[in-house]
Amino acid sequence: MSRKGQSITLSVSEAEKAELEQLALEHGMTWGERPNISKLLKAIARHKLLITPNNNWSAERIKALDTARLALIDAGKMEEAVAIGELLRDRSELTIPFRTEIERFLNNPQPAWRQKIDNLIHRQQPFQLSYRDAAERQWNYTVLHAQIMPIEKREYLVCRCSESEGNRDVEELRHNWSLRLDRIQDAAVISIDKVWIPDLERLAVEFQVYRGLAFSYQRKLDDTFVSEIEGQPSTRKVVRNIFSSFWFLREIAPYWEDCQIISPENIRQRVREKLLLTCQNYDL
């Protein structure tokens, strides 16, 4: 008498077993309410389910899908954008940075106010931003230019606004504001009839880097000039268009002994003030 079936043993990890069970559930292969991997394998063997390659999408196809995802986000259609994100996440062709971006998006879809800000920036449309921060303080800005920037592992809305009161930056940069997005609890965003300004306020800062830093210095996006290494000690001159003295000085702070601000004078003065306070802290 022949056997009705034969058993096989699968050597899989717990994660792989969980994925097989999830596939079984998705395709209705269950025993009662529990996923049944055996039914899934039988369905594949009998060609009721087809196995297709997961690495044959072109870069153009993936780019087109991501463009559609971003357009849906801009249009406020988050459910559809999430569906495309899930489709992309399941593909094996994704680069590690792009997969990280998709997973971050799926783990934390944007709130409506953030979607609207992204959409307005994309359209280069000025807007009024009103929001309360975590300390329940009310803030209001008339935004004439804005960019979403990653700074020190956080995302900021860096914007040029009509308002300057309370901004402690140098006069040339006083209309620029850096708003940390994860500190905005909720916001009202309204488009306004004003002219979009092409860029943030900028200030050209000339500085020199010395010794090992002169050799290891890597040109930044906002650098307009980087000289060859010359002199003793080894010196490289850099000119950069900064949008914030606060962020610029934080960047060069670890290299005070290997860096000198040459101009403008108001940025040099800020460095002097910081160094004097440091000397006082150490009784120098």
Domain boundaries, the chain: 14-45, 59-109, 113-191, 203-281
pLDDT over 60 (residue 74):
no
Pairing of strands 176-180, 154-161: antiparallel
Q: What SS3 class is residue 107?
A: helix
Give the pLDDT band of residue 5 (cuts 50, 70, 90): low
Phi, psi of 170, rounded to the nearest 5 degrees? -65, 160
- Specify the residue for token string 């072109």: 58
C-beta separation of 267 from 251 below 8 A: no
Range of 65-69, 116-120, 190-194 with top mean pLDDT: 190-194
The whole-number average pLDDT for the span 93-100 is 84
First-to-last CA distance in the chain? 97
**Of 155, 156, 125, which is closest to residue 142 (Cα–Cα)?**
125
CA atoms within 13 A on the CB side of 214: 19
Encoding tokens for residue 95? 């680069």
HSE-up of 129 (CA within 13 Å, CB side)?
Answer: 31
User: Does CATH place domain 113-191 in 1.10.3470?
Assistant: no
Q: Give the span between the Cα atoms of 176 and 197, in whole angstroms.
A: 12
Residue 52 has a pLDDT of: 60
From CA 271, how far away is CA 170, in angstroms rounded? Answer: 12
Residue 40: pLDDT above 90?
no
Residue 76 has pLDDT above 70, yes or no: no
Q: How far apart are CA 59 and CA 65, in angstroms?
A: 10
Calpha distance 50→263 (Å, rounded): 67
pLDDT in tens, 112-169: 788 789 889 989 999 999 987 767 788 899 999 999 998 887 889 999 999 999 899 9
pLDDT at 30: 85
Is the entire prediction scored with pTM above 0.75? no
Check pLDDT > 50 for residue 1: no
- 233 prior amide bond cis, ω within 30: yes
Element housing 61 (H / E): helix 59-74
Q: What is the mean pLDDT of the chain?
A: 86
Q: Using an 8 Å Cβ cutoff, are 158 and 178 in contact?
A: yes
3-state helix, strand, coil in the chain (%, to 5): 40, 25, 35
Q: Confidence band (pLDDT; 50, 70, 90) for 79? A: confident
pLDDT at 203 > cutoff 80? yes
Lowest mean pLDDT of 109-113, 175-179, 248-252, name the range.
109-113
Q: For the CA atoms of the chain, what is the radius of gyration?
A: 28
Smallest CA-to-CA distance from 77 within 118, 115, 120 is with 115
Identify the pLDDT of residue 137.
81
Per-residue pLDDT at 261: 96
Is there a contact between 97 and 65 (Cβ–Cβ < 8 Å)? Answer: no
The answer to whether residues 132 and 186 touch, using CB atoms and an 8 Å cutoff, is: yes
More confident residue, 57 or 117: 117
6 pLDDT tier (thresholds 50, 70, 90)? low
How confident is residue 51, by pLDDT bands cut at 50, 70 and 90?
low
- Residue range 100-122, pLDDT digits in tens: 888 888 887 777 788 789 889 98
Asked whether residue 236 carries a pLDDT value surpassing 90, the answer given is: yes
Tens of pLDDT, residue by residue over 222-232, are 999 999 999 99
Residue 93: phi, psi to the nearest 5? -80, -10
d(CA 240, CA 243): 10
Q: Between 57 and 140, name the one with better pLDDT.
A: 140
